[in-house]
């Protein structure tokens, strides 16, 4: 973050103190939102957020900024719909412009099987409070005239769903809004501070070692993404998390307004227009587990091919930039939130390729859990012990990235 | 990114399928806990690691690959 922005946003950096009530590892959206809600909703301000780079330098600054709630299982729809509602009021609550724009998301299918699934999902979404309707190819053409219904001859558009409350927001502004709100209430956000160890005595967390010195605390939240297992290894906790890269790219600006977010389920492709007019797009996560931020030409080639299959006009645009994030993927493609067998050590992870939309609700619910010591009903299904209890939340089809 | 298949030579990663080799820590002794660990928990190593890969669009054989997940 440059000095100009820092001065305007009004961030006040703290000095590391020897002791805090709560230490949050990871200064991304989820970590900062948790700190914000701890301060605003529960009056807990003796909190440190430890970030090894700068705030929002991980996946919070590398995603494609889609906010939606059209998930495939009730627990997820409830949770993401709540997050979507919190996003709607975030500008009013924080008094900061996050460039939130509701534009709807069109989710297309190219196979009969996909249509069946999508119809069921639209009904299920409505039953649990998300605005999703099934749409025919003719209706799709009305929503987005640029779509090639023939799909280049190979991926004909057979139907899909329209999720009218789909939205986008400016990712770094979301991070700054939460950081500023937390800092104003006394939270210390410590940049360029790497957590190097977690001290556990008698099965209970007693402190965090950082490269800037030791912090004594009884509550630690791991809110890191790709490096989740680096943190959980420090307390000897086994995690169902594997780190895979996810890539994205933007084109130069498209002169017309492109309305909704468009996604293709079978192609694993999604695109939206940024406020600057660029077309922002992404595809599936990379097959190889890796912590590497390296971008590849394979991604450019395959993503561009998918893009022009359903939106031929994109072939006239040029690719401006590409980048990569490293994602914490869980086996059932649902997040993992809550307490762990190590007393005082909590996790908010498994956000994989779907974490940005969940920042407000994830932060709010984790803050409530930390403040009250009880797991809120909304996130109870996402507990870590669901794997051992055989209560999986399989929802890979709703991620759109595989 | 390219992967060296022992049978087909250097090919694009898109041709391959990844397969994790489960490694349950010795410290877990309860049989049920070992099963849960083997099915769900991941190694997720940061650095050099040995993995199983399947050449989907090639020789269709499994092989072991040493790779650095950091780079």
Q: What is the pLDDT along chain A (402 residues), one digit of tens a residue?
A: 566 666 677 788 989 999 999 999 999 999 999 999 999 999 999 999 999 999 999 999 999 999 999 999 999 999 999 999 999 999 999 999 999 999 999 999 999 999 999 999 999 999 999 999 999 999 999 999 999 999 999 999 999 999 999 999 999 999 999 999 999 999 999 999 999 999 999 999 999 999 999 999 999 999 999 999 999 999 999 999 999 999 999 999 999 999 999 999 999 999 999 999 999 999 999 999 999 999 999 999 999 999 999 999 999 999 999 999 999 999 999 999 999 999 999 999 999 999 999 999 999 999 999 999 999 999 999 999 999 999 999 999 999 888
Instruction: Pick the closest to residue A78 from A375, A318, A377 (CA basis).
Output: A377
Residues of B in contact with A391 (CB under 8 A): none
Interface of B with A (CB under 8 A): 1, 12-14, 16-18, 20, 25, 33, 36-37, 39-42, 44, 46, 51, 67, 69-71
The pLDDT value recorded for residue A44 is 98
- The SS3 of residue A153 is helix
Distance from CA of A230 to the nearest CA of B (A): 8
CB contact under 8 A, A242 and B41: no
In angstroms, the separation between the Cα of residue A329 and the nearest Cα of chain B is: 10
* Domain boundaries, given as residue ranges, for chain A: 3-62+171-241+332-398, 105-164+242-329
Alpha-carbon torsion A319, A67, A374, A50, what sign? Answer: positive
| pLDDT one-digit tens code per residue, B11-66 | 998 899 999 888 999 999 999 999 999 999 998 999 999 999 999 999 999 999 99
Tell whether domain A3-62+171-241+332-398 is in CATH 3.50.50.60: yes
Mutation site, B35, B40, B57, interface A, largest A CB count within 10 A: B40
Q: Do B16 and A287 touch (CB under 8 A)?
A: yes
Distance from CA of B31 to the nearest CA of A (A): 13
Beta strands in A330-363 (DSSP E): 336-339, 345-349
| Nearest residue, CB atoms, B18 vs list A287, A298, A302 | A287
Residue among B14, B20, B42 minimizing CB distance to A239: B42
Residue B22's pLDDT is what? Answer: 86
How close is the nearest chain A Cα to the Cα of B44, in Å? 5
CA atoms of A80 and A11, how far apart (whole Å): 28
- Interface size between A and B, measured as CB pairs under 8 A: 57
Please report, for chain B, the start and end positions of each structural domain, with discontinuous segments joined by +: 2-68
The pair of structure tokens assigned to A56 is 């929002």
**CATH topology classification for B2-68:** Folate-binding fold (3.30.2270)
User: Angle between the A112-127 and A74-94 helix axes, to the nearest 10 degrees?
Assistant: 60
Those residues whose C-beta lies under 8 Å from the C-beta of residue A38, and which sit 6 or more positions away, are A22, A44, A45, A47, A182, A187, A367, A370, A371
Is A142 exposed, middle or buried (CB count within 10 Å of its CB: 0-12, 13-18, 19+)? exposed
User: Phi first, then psi: what are they for A273, rounded to 5°?
Assistant: -100, 135
DSSP A370: H
> Is A243 in contact with B69 (Cβ distance < 8 A)?
yes
In 3D space, the residue among A74, A66, A75, A24 whose CA is nearest the CA of residue A45 turns out to be A24
CB A25, CB A48: distance < 8 Å: no
**A105-164+242-329: in CATH 3.30.9.10:** yes
Which pLDDT value is given to residue A4? 67
First vs last C-alpha separation in chain B:
11
| Nearest-neighbour CA in chain B from A238: distance (Å) | 6
Report the sign of the C-alpha dihedral through residues A124, A331, A291, A16, in that order.
positive
């Amino acid at each position: 973050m440059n000095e100009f922005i820092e001065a305007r946003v009004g961030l006040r950096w703290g000095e590391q103190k020897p002791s805090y009530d709560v230490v949050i590892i990871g200064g991304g959206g989820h970590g900062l939102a948790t700190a914000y809600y701890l301060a605003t909703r529960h009056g807990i301000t003796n909190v440190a957020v430890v970030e090894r780079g700068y705030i929002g330098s991980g996946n919070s600054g590398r995603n494609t900024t889609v906010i939606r709630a059209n998930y495939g299982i009730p627990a997820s729809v409830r949770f993401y719909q709540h997050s979507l509602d919190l996003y709607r009021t975030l500008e009013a609550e924080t008094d900061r412009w996050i460039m939130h724009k509701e534009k709807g998301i069109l989710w297309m299918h190219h196979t009969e099987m996909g249509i069946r699934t999508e119809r069921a999902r639209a009904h299920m979404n409505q039953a649990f409070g998300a605005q999703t309707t099934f749409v025919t190819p003719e209706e799709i053409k009305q929503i987005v005239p640029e779509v090639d219904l023939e799909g280049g001859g190979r991926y004909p558009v057979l139907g899909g769903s329209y999720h009218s409350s789909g939205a986008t927001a400016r990712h770094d502004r979301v991070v700054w809004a939460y950081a500023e709100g937390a800092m104003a209430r006394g939270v210390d956000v410590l940049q360029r501070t790497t957590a190097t160890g977690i001290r556990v005595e008698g099965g209970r967390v007693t402190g965090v070692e950082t490269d800037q010195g030791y912090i004594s605390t009884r509550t630690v939240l791991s809110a890191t993404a790709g490096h989740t297992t680096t943190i959980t290894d420090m307390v000897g906790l086994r995690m169902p998390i594997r780190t895979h890269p996810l890539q994205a790219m933007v084109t130069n600006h498209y002169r017309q307004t492109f309305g909704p977010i468009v996604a293709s389920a079978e192609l694993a492709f999604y695109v939206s227009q940024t406020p600057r007019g660029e077309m922002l797009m992404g595809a599936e996560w990379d097959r190889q587990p890796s912590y590497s931020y390296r971008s590849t030409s394979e991604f450019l080639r395959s993503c561009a091919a998918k893009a022009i299959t359903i939106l031929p006009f994109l072939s006239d645009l040029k690719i401006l930039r590409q980048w990569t994030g490293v994602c914490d993927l869980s086996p059932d493609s649902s997040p993992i939130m809550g307490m762990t067998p190590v007393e005082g050590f909590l996790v908010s992870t498994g956000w994989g390729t779907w974490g940005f939309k969940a920042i407000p609700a994830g932060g709010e619910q984790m803050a409530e859990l930390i403040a009250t010591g009880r797991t809120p009903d909304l996130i109870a299904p996402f507990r870590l012990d669901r794997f051992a209890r055989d209560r999986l939340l399989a929802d890979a089809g709703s991620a759109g990235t595989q | 990114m390219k992967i060296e298949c022992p049978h087909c030579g250097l090919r694009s990663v898109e041709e391959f399928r990844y397969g994790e080799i489960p490694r349950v820590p010795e410290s877990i002794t309860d049989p049920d806990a070992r099963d849960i660990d083997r099915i769900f928990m991941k190694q997720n190593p940061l650095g050099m690691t040995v993995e199983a890969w399947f050449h989907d669009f090639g020789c269709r054989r499994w092989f072991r690959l040493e790779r650095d997940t950091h780079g």
